[in-house]
Structure 1
Amino acid sequence: MRITLLAVGRVMPPPIRELVEDYRERLNHFVPTRLESVAEEKRDRGMTERLALEREGGRLRARFTPGAMIVALDGAGRMLSSPELARTLGQWLDASPPEILFLIGGPDGLDPEIKSRAHFTLSLGPMTYPHMLARVLLLEQLYRAMTLLRGVPYHR
């Protein structure tokens, strides 16, 4: 069982990359955690947003592990408090899928077909965040959730 964060996007600048890696390492103490990315679709003049999302969606689907619990991040998803996320993550871990796969889309979000395949859609809140920071926020909240589940003093 592992957690994978799969994001559409570009190379992160060093300060963001360091934060992402810090929380990935912390989370990795509780459950093996991977970070992967797929390239954002380059748009030419004739490319529609829909076609770009479909192409990004195809690259994401190619990385899916059979039997994975798929969690799409989307502004229209469910907003959970940190304790609620911990309880939800605990239920997913108890179900023992081979992987819990968190998906972060590019600037235009996720392909609707990808969202329809998700087992759960999670929102980080009503504000808009740069996709690079969404990675940091998600990893920190997953780490916080694991500390809550394991009784490690971190959450206050």
Structure 2
Amino acid sequence: MKITVIAVGKIKEKYFTLAIDEYTKRLTRYCKLEIIELQDEKTPDNSSEATNLQIKAKEGDRILASIKDDAYVVALAIGGKMLDSVELSEKIAGLGVNGTSHIVFVIGGSLGLDDRILSRANYELSFSKMTFPHQMMRVILLEQVYRAYRIMGNEPYHK
């Protein structure tokens, strides 16, 4: 299975980079992982709703250009379905059993995802009703995907 993480924004903090590198290394045993880091748009202070929509649209263009037509797209969205770790593992395993060979997880920028991304998504996943910085969300997502593969393999990590 190929897992792609498309994320808007750069990782600036070394401790996030180290964590991402660690989970990337661990995941190579289970899947082919690709991380696509896209440029975020600068959001002016006190920007209008119209400006925010334009920013999300520009970021959305970049995201859509990075998604292959045959990919199963999982958008990370606050309004998405919340799963526990076992359910996420079952979701990923089920997709593989049903012939999906490429899953794309999309992490939006500071304003969230453009509606076109949510429309393109096959599934909307929420990790919490809280908002997390995209850098931290990338680490959390990779850790949960790693945990999912460990659960699938009946390996002890997830307990």
- Same-fold status (TM-score > 0.5): yes
Q: Is the 8 A contact 2:75 2:124 kept in 1?
A: yes
Once the 2 structures are TM-superposed, how far is the Cα of residue 10 of structure 1 from its aligned partner? Answer: 2.1
May I ask how many residue pairs the two structures share in their alignment?
A: 156
Alignment-derived partner of residue 108 in structure 1: 111
- 2:2 alignment partner in structure 1: 2
Distance 1:21 1:80 in 2: 25
Query: Deviations along 1:90-132, whole A, 9 cap, x unmatched?
Result: 1112233341000000000110111111000000111221110
Provide structure 1 residue ranges, at least 5 long, that are not aligned to the other structure.
Answer: none
Runs of 4+ in 1 over 3 A off after TM superposition: 43-47
Bigger shift: residues 136-145 or 10-19: 10-19
Matches within 5 A, 1:23-62: 23-43=23-43, 48-62=51-65
Once the two structures are superposed, the pairs formed by residues 78-93 of structure 1 within 5 Å of their partners are 78-93=81-96
Residue 76 of structure 1: how far off its partner (Å): 0.5
In 2, distance between residues paired with 1:24 and 1:122? 21
1:15 aligns with 2:18: no
Output the CA distance in 1 between the equivalents of 2:10 and 2:37. 8
Structure 2: tracts of 5 or more residues without a match: none
For 1:52 and 1:18, locate their aligned partners in 2 and report how far apart those are by CA, in whole Å: 29
CA distance in 1: counterparts of 2:79 and 2:120, whole angstroms:
15
Q: Does 1:125 align with 2:137?
A: no
- Kindly indicate whether the alpha-carbon contact (under 8 Å) linking 2:11 and 2:135 is maintained by their aligned counterparts in 1: no
Give the letter aligned to residue 16 of structure 1: F
Cα distance in 2 between the residues matched to 1:94 and 1:143? 18
Residue 155 in 1 paired to residue 158 in 2?
yes
User: Which residue number corresponds to residue 71 of structure 2?
Assistant: 68
Instruction: Among all aligned residue pairs of Structure 1 and Structure 2, give the percentage whose two residues are the same amino acid.
Output: 36
TM-score by length of 1: 0.94
Amino acid at match of 1:69: Y
Q: Please provide the CA RMSD for this pair.
A: 1.5
Q: SS of 2:156's equivalent?
A: coil
Taking the aligned partners of 1:100 and 1:109, their CA distance within structure 2 comes to 20
- Between stretches 35-44 and 16-25, larger displacement belongs to 35-44
Measure, in 1, the Cα distance between the counterparts of 2:12 and 2:96. Answer: 29
Q: CA deviation at 1:43?
A: 4.0
